[in-house]
Structure 1
Amino acid sequence: LGAAAAAPAALGMLTTAFPEGPRRVRALGVWSAVNAAGGALGVMAGGLLTEYVDWRWVMLVNLPIVAAALALVLAGVPAGGLPDRRERPDVLGAVLATGGVGLLVLGVVRTDTRGWGSPATVATLAAAAALLAAFAYAESRASAPLLRLGLLRSRWVAGANVLVFLAAAGQFAAFYFMSLYMQQVLGMGAAATGTAFLPFSVSLVAGTVIATRVTATRTPRAALVPGALLAAAGLAWCACISPHGGFLADVLGPCAITGVGVGLVLAPVAAAATTGVASREAGMASGLFNSSRQLGGCVGLAALATIAALRTGPATDPAALNAGYALSLAVSAGLFVVAAVVAIVVLPRHRAAAPPAPRPAATAVPAENRLEGTPS
């Protein structure tokens, strides 16, 4: 709940503070690079704490981090005033969305033991579909919806959210299965596994820097397509892991390529998700983007873990585990290929032209109170 409130607020602040164009792209590039650097430090610190201290410190270490972040927010982020018109929160939409997504994840997670065709799985997924359909209907009639459905008519917004769903599914699963491969097959400890992800994170930051420069002068699509294909190539190499593999050939090389590809996707997809969005809906678009990313990682990991378990079967030897991990990594590569296709087919080739500035008039509405339009 806390992350769900904080993450969209942070992204919404950036899209509101920086106008659409090169400045926003650079800001989102820094945001993505900091995300990647934080991920690198977190994975390494988690491995070190687990092996040399206690796994509970993976949770406890967040307390001083949050205290420092809270102090920075209080010192550096303006509080702002209350809106002129207070709107009632969309409680019904929140309940329907949470229930629908929760049942969707539950239905997918249990397929490794109940099967896709079991009555329990079918009933759970059907109930999830019904709640999500009810959510869409409720949002179309709400006076202050959590998600204005018209926002999805923008090819930038719709395409970026589908793309980040697929990319998150592939990326989260790759982290998970490569961690298991290093520990369960190669026999590496938690600290060594965490440190082994540093090259991936460094290359991810490098890819983010490159993507920021490309997107500043061209559209997000110019970095998204090659980035998704490069990530797919790296994961396809990861899928070639073997029970008798080594760190250099089976981990370092493919993870470095995957990291650059994922980095090329991170900043442009965030920029695409907020392209053409009015400033008053920046928080809504940011919340949708973060939800798509988290849902992609959650559903994708659940589905790919099921695929790995089905390939592995009851065996627990390194060869059987390797076969399951390799299959899921291959599917992760396929997800990035689909993401590249989405970027090519759905995302526009050019940014929409900005609406012309209004002519000055005695009765003109002040610029800060005017509602921005979204391009078709």
Structure 2
Amino acid sequence: MSASLTSAPERSAPPLGLRLHSRWTALAVLSTGMLMTVLDGSIVTVAMPAIQNDLGFSPASLSWVVNAYLIAFGSLLLLAGRLGDLIGRKRMFLAGTAVFTGASLLAGLATSPALLIAARFLQGIGSAMASAVSLGILITLFTEPRERAKAIAVFSFTGAAGASLGQVLGGVLTDALDWHWIFFINLPIGLAAALLALPALPGDRGLGLRAGADVLGAVLVTAGLMVGISTVVGVEQHGWTSARTLAPGALAVALLAGFVVRQSRARTPLLPLRIFRSAAVTGANLVQMLMVAALFAFQILVALYLQKVLGYGAAETGLAMLPAAVVIGAVSLGVSARLADRFGDRSVLLAGLTLLVIALGLLTRLPVHADYVRDLLPVMLLAAGFGLALPALTTLGMSDAGEADAGLASGLFNTTQQIGMALGVAVLSTLAASRSESLAAAGRTAPEALTGGYHLAFGVGAGLLLLALAVAAVTLRGAGRTTG
């Protein structure tokens, strides 16, 4: 059995007076907030060429439309999760939703690269505030195992399918209207989420700042993650061995090492190190980091292959990715919870990861002149593995979180997701670009060189998933057994 994260009782009853239908309404609010965040993360990718042409981004600066969001989001999740525990998770969710919605308006109105990048950074801050506490709220509302499994399946579906749907919407909105609308679409979603959250989410006063106001720890971890993530996402431009990578990388390591030392000595640590005594929490976070890094190859590089090699437009690319969103949604909502109830979360996770390994393995064989039905549709259908893996992984990652640490565990789980995404961007995109350049120098045509680069990235992604499988098999042994 894995260790509990807190000495408080492992499970607490839902807030008094919160009826069943109210809890599911609260879940709908949390899922809407998640949908908004995930859509924003993926909807931008398809619209990047249009944004570059309209605002005059240079090729080097264009990546900061994504990086500014990623850096703010990934570096602040841990702090936001702990602050949610201290000042109240409902307050943090509402404040984050308000910041994100306002920043979306600013992004949609942007008339210069600097303004759009600043708005994207603010969006990342708002996303971190809202996302960091969402899972913490969910697990305190749904305490019965089967009910919690269903709730997590709904929440995971929103995240998993939303990423693919974002590419569809991004393509359609960009082609039918213009790129500004990929940000304006957040306004009605954000307003609806905030208005519904006021009566639907349970009020919580939090533990109070004195219970964990570790200011030095907060500065160290936020600065360390911000420097570290910005270093990783800059690798594609500067290279792994350049001074602009090694110097800030060393600084990030030093800051994070200082944070760990601080947490071992602080009277009220921001991240109590006891959280890592749980094999389920530690293993699930590590598996998630590897899985998300690998699936960058699926979500982003497949879209680039469709556009740059096969010549698909933005809307066509989104529609080509739609079957993946459909199967992920169907499996997340209709299958994953029942399978987990029968076979256990660990077994479902291993099955999902196996399907994803096969999917990326097939992508390493993509031809330059691919037929969609023969070469790509089977891969889209195998994306069902993500619909199996993510709910099971989320359940395992939050399984030992008590009332006092729910926001912290939620923030940690989201942080490892963002670190995995940053690593995927840095490693796989760099490998693909380097391989494509060498093939082009050897005389291959542009489509052949690009395809060869993507093949390498897909192969490395499959290797990361195999490593995730091994970690899950070893560290999660005995975790996530069936509940009945």
* TM-score, length of structure 1 as denominator length: 0.88
Say whether the 8 Å CA contact 2:233–2:422 is kept in structure 1: no
Say whether the 8 Å CA contact 1:90–1:145 is kept in structure 2: yes
Say whether the 8 Å CA contact 2:346–2:480 is kept in structure 1: no
Residue number in structure 2 paired with 1:228: 353
Q: How far is the alpha carbon of 1:215 from its aligned partner?
A: 1.5
Range with greater deviation from structure 2 (278-287 or 118-127): 118-127
Runs of 5+ in structure 1 lacking a partner?
355-376
- Name the aligned partner's letter for residue 357 of structure 2: A
Residue number in structure 2 paired with 1:293: 417
Residue number in structure 2 paired with 1:108: 232
- Name the aligned partner's letter for residue 253 of structure 1: P
Q: How far is the alpha carbon of 1:88 from its aligned partner?
A: 5.5
Say whether the 8 Å CA contact 1:173–1:297 is kept in structure 2: no
Q: 1:84 to 1:137 in 2, by over 3 A?
A: closer
Q: 1:128 to 1:84 in 2, by over 3 A?
A: closer
Q: In structure 1, what is the Cα distance between the partners aligned to 2:480 and 2:368?
A: 48
Alignment of 1:246-325 (within 5 A): 246-257=371-382, 259-313=383-437, 315=440, 317-325=446-454
Residue number in structure 2 paired with 1:245: 370
Say whether the 8 Å CA contact 2:396–2:480 is kept in structure 1: no
1:313 match: secondary structure = helix
Q: In structure 2, what is the Cα distance between the partners aligned to 1:353 and 1:110?
A: 43
Say whether residues 1:347 and 2:469 are aligned partners.
no
Q: In structure 2, what is the Cα distance between the partners aligned to 1:344 and 1:71?
A: 43
Range with greater deviation from structure 2 (71-80 or 343-352): 343-352
- Name the aligned partner's letter for residue 194 of structure 2: L
Q: 1:92 to 1:317 in 2, by over 3 A?
A: same
Say whether residues 1:193 and 2:317 are aligned partners.
yes
Say whether the 8 Å CA contact 1:87–1:144 is kept in structure 2: yes
Say whether residues 1:211 and 2:336 are aligned partners.
yes
Q: In structure 1, what is the Cα distance between the partners aligned to 2:398 and 2:144?
A: 8
Q: In structure 2, what is the Cα distance between the partners aligned to 1:194 and 1:45?
A: 7
Say whether the 8 Å CA contact 1:236–1:330 is kept in structure 2: yes
Say whether the 8 Å CA contact 1:238–1:255 is kept in structure 2: no
Q: In structure 2, what is the Cα distance between the partners aligned to 1:38 and 1:288?
A: 21
> Which aligned segments of 4 or more residues in structure 1 are displaced greater than 6 angstroms?
none
Residue number in structure 1 paired with 2:171: 47
Say whether the 8 Å CA contact 1:220–1:268 is kept in structure 2: yes
Say whether the 8 Å CA contact 2:156–2:391 is kept in structure 1: yes
Q: 1:84 to 1:165 in 2, by over 3 A?
A: closer
Q: In structure 2, what is the Cα distance between the partners aligned to 1:320 and 1:290?
A: 35
Q: How far is the alpha carbon of 1:350 from its aligned partner?
A: 4.5
Residue number in structure 1 paired with 2:458: 329
Q: 1:21 to 1:54 in 2, by over 3 A?
A: same
Say whether the 8 Å CA contact 2:344–2:481 is kept in structure 1: no
Q: How far is the alpha carbon of 1:203 from its aligned partner?
A: 1.2
Q: 1:64 to 1:351 in 2, by over 3 A?
A: closer
Range with greater deviation from structure 2 (62-71 or 84-93): 84-93
Q: 1:246 to 1:223 in 2, by over 3 A?
A: same
Q: How far is the alpha carbon of 1:147 from its aligned partner?
A: 1.4
* TM-score, length of structure 2 as denominator length: 0.69
Q: How far is the alpha carbon of 1:255 from its aligned partner?
A: 1.9
Alignment coverage as a number of residue pairs: 353
Q: How far is the alpha carbon of 1:32 from its aligned partner?
A: 1.0
Residue number in structure 2 paired with 1:367: none
Q: In structure 1, what is the Cα distance between the partners aligned to 2:234 and 2:262?
A: 29
Say whether the 8 Å CA contact 2:360–2:462 is kept in structure 1: yes
Q: 1:111 to 1:276 in 2, by over 3 A?
A: closer
Runs of 5+ in structure 2 lacking a partner?
1-124
- Name the aligned partner's letter for residue 312 of structure 2: M
Q: 1:105 to 1:88 in 2, by over 3 A?
A: closer
2:370 match: secondary structure = coil
Say whether residues 1:98 and 2:222 are aligned partners.
yes
Deviations 1:120-142 (A, max 9, x none): 32222221111110111122223
Say whether the 8 Å CA contact 1:93–1:139 is kept in structure 2: yes
Q: In structure 1, what is the Cα distance between the partners aligned to 2:343 and 2:410?
A: 22
Q: How far is the alpha carbon of 1:352 from its aligned partner?
A: 8.6
Over the aligned positions, Cα root-mean-square deviation in angstroms equals: 2.1
Deviations 1:291-326 (A, max 9, x none): 111110112112111111110117481111111112
Q: In structure 2, what is the Cα distance between the partners aligned to 1:91 and 1:60?
A: 36
Say whether the 8 Å CA contact 1:112–1:310 is kept in structure 2: no
Say whether the 8 Å CA contact 1:49–1:57 is kept in structure 2: yes
Q: In structure 2, what is the Cα distance between the partners aligned to 1:82 and 1:275?
A: 21
Say whether the 8 Å CA contact 2:132–2:411 is kept in structure 1: yes
Q: 1:242 to 1:76 in 2, by over 3 A?
A: same
- Name the aligned partner's letter for residue 373 of structure 2: L
Q: 1:181 to 1:132 in 2, by over 3 A?
A: same
Q: In structure 1, what is the Cα distance between the partners aligned to 2:479 and 2:273?
A: 23
- Name the aligned partner's letter for residue 78 of structure 1: P
Q: How far is the alpha carbon of 1:115 from its aligned partner?
A: 3.0
